[in-house]
Amino acid sequence: MKPLAVITGVGPGTGSALVRRFHQGGYRVAMLARNAERLQALAQECPDTLVVPCDVSQADALNAALARIEAEAGACSVVVHNAVGGAFGNFLDLDPAVLNANFQVNVMAMLHLARWAAPQMKAAGRGAIIVTGNTSALRGRAHFAGFAPTKAAQRILAESMARELGPQGIHVAYLLIDAVIDVPWARKRYPDKPDDFFIRPADIADEAWHLVQQPRSAWSFLTEVRPFKESW
């Protein structure tokens, strides 16, 4: 039986690339996203994947989706939390409800996923939980008040989980993306930027795959990826 990977936030960029990479690597992949049509199209490309339309910000819907995955595909070996909620603007103008909604996606959904997956991984004595983040997890820039607090909380939660689960054979890692991801909307926003300004979704997926494959003697927690021209 193929090992199972559960991937959230399967959009047209990083999420789809993650599905393709883990499918290529021999995993059966359960794909979670709100857009069922996109998931169905990707399932045609990657056979034996599990299409799970779900809004991960809704705890009841997420828990029902996870119960369905376990019933249909068994215990999971890998979780990649790639779903993201974001909003930008002056903190004085920010609707507090928007910040709360982003917390539900970025932090609480990750918590629900980990609480579901960790007991299965503990029973197996191994597993990996990978969280995709960005530099907002490390610094609060102006006009990022609707986003940065949620990514900072996400990173700290992941670190707490890593310290607790690592000795039990479960690798938790935070993949920090310091770049503009090469997706159609980004190309429209930065029409004059060269190709090497962007980070390719397939390259992000390769790094997530690398984290899952790391030997126990050399696990990473915080891994940063950025194009070579990115200022940091």
Distance CA 68, CA 206 (A): 28
19: domain CATH number is: 3.40.50.720
Calculated CA dihedral for residues 147, 153, 155, 161, nearest 10 degrees = -150
Does residue 33 lie in a domain region? yes
With pLDDT > 70 as the criterion, what percentage of the chain qualifies?
100
Please report which confidence band the pLDDT of residue 2 belongs to, taking 50, 70 and 90 as the band edges: very high
Does residue 214 lie in a domain region? yes
pLDDT of residue 166: 97
Collect all residues with Cβ–Cβ distance below 8 Å to 209 and sequence separation of at least 6. 21, 22, 25
Q: Which residues pair with 198 in a beta bridge?
A: 180
Each residue's pLDDT tens digit, 175-206: 999 999 999 989 999 999 999 999 999 999 99
Collect all residues with Cβ–Cβ distance below 8 Å to 95 and sequence separation of at least 6. none
Number of structural domains (the chain) is 1
Q: Domain of residue 70: give its range.
A: 4-225
Does residue 232 lie in a domain region? no
Q: Which residue has the higher pLDDT, 62 or 140?
A: 62
Does residue 230 lie in a domain region? no
Q: Judge contact between 88 and 143, C-beta under 8 A.
A: yes
Distance CA 2, CA 29 (A): 9
CA Rg value for the chain: 17
3-state secondary structure of 228: coil
Does residue 231 lie in a domain region? no
Does residue 148 lie in a domain region? yes
Residue 4 has pLDDT above 80, yes or no: yes
Does residue 193 lie in a domain region? yes
Q: Which of 163, 165, 160, 78 is nearest to 127 (CA)?
A: 78
pLDDT of residue 192: 94
